[in-house]
A and B are shown apart, each in its own frame.
Chain A
Amino acid sequence: MMDHLMALGWILIKILAITIPLILAVAFLTLAERRVIGAMQVRIGPNRVGPWGLFQPFADVIKLLMKEVILPAKSNRFLFVLAPMLTLIPALVAWAVIPFEEGMVLAQIDAGLLYVLALTSVGVYGVIIAGWASNSKYAFLGAMRSAAQIVSYEIAMGFALVGVLVAAGSLNLTEIVLGQQGGIWNWYFIPLFPLFIIYFISGVAETNRAPFDVAEGESEIVAGFHVEYSGAAFALFFLGEYANMILISLLAALMFMGGWLSPLEAVPGIEGTFLAAPSIVWLLLKTMFFLFLFLWFRATFPRYRYDQIMRLGWKVFIPITIVWILVVALFVVKQWLWWAP
Chain B
Amino acid sequence: MSAITSYLKSLALLELLGGMRVTIGYFFKPKFTIMYPEEKTPKSNRFRGLLALRRYPNGEERCIACKLCEAVCPALAITIDSEQRDDGTRRTTRFDIDLFKCIFCGFCEESCPVDSIVGTDVHEYHMEERSESVITKPQLLALGDRLEQQLAADRQQDAPYR
A and B touching (Cβ–Cβ under 8 A): yes
Interface residues of A (CB under 8 A from B): 36, 38-44, 197, 296-297, 299-301
Q: Determine which of A41, A44, A197, A297 lies in contact with B26 in the assembled complex, contact meaning CB atoms within 8 Å.
A: A41
Name which residue of chain A comes closest to B28, CB basis: A39
Chain B residue numbers with a CB within 8 Å of A296 are 20, 23-24
| Pair B24/A44 contact, Cβ less than 8 Å | no
Given A42-B31, A44-B31, CB of A300 within 8 Å of CB of B26: no
Q: Complex Cα distance A40/B33, Å? A: 12
Q: Determine which of A36, A42, A197, A297 lies in contact with B32 in the assembled complex, contact meaning CB atoms within 8 Å.
A: A42
Q: Determine which of B23, B28, B33 lies in contact with A43 in the assembled complex, contact meaning CB atoms within 8 Å.
A: B33
Given A42-B32, A44-B33, CB of A36 within 8 Å of CB of B19: no
> Knowing that A39-B27, A42-B29, A44-B33 are A-B contacts, what are 13 other residue pairs whose CB atoms are under 8 Å apart, sorted by A's residue number?
A36-B27, A38-B31, A39-B31, A40-B26, A42-B26, A42-B31, A43-B33, A296-B20, A296-B23, A300-B16, A300-B19, A300-B20, A300-B22
- Number of B residues near A (Cβ < 8 Å) is 14
| Pair B31/A301 contact, Cβ less than 8 Å | no
Task: Point out which of B23, B24, B29 has the most chain A C-beta atoms below 10 A from its C-beta.
Answer: B23
Chain B residue numbers with a CB within 8 Å of A299 are 23
For the complex of A and B, 4 pairs with smallest distance between CB atoms: A44-B33, A300-B23, A40-B23, A39-B27
Main secondary structure of the interface of A (DSSP, over half): helix
Q: Complex Cα distance A140/B33, Å? A: 39
Task: Point out which of B19, B26, B27, B28 has the most chain A C-beta atoms below 10 A from its C-beta.
Answer: B27
Chain B residue numbers with a CB within 8 Å of A300 are 16, 19-20, 22-23
Q: Complex Cα distance A299/B21, Å? A: 11
Chain A residue numbers with a CB within 8 Å of B28 are 39
| Sample (20) of A-B pairs whose CB atoms are under 8 Å apart | A38-B31, A39-B26, A39-B27, A39-B28, A40-B23, A42-B26, A42-B29, A42-B32, A42-B33, A43-B32, A43-B33, A44-B31, A44-B33, A296-B20, A296-B24, A299-B23, A300-B16, A300-B23, A301-B16, A301-B19
Chain A residue numbers with a CB within 8 Å of B26 are 39-42
Task: Point out which of B26, B28, B29 has the most chain A C-beta atoms below 10 A from its C-beta.
Answer: B26
User: Which chain B residues in 37-77 approach chain A with CB under 8 Å?
Assistant: none
Q: How near does chain B come to A160, taking the closest CB pair, in angstroms?
A: 15
Q: How near does chain B come to A323, taking the closest CB pair, in angstroms?
A: 12
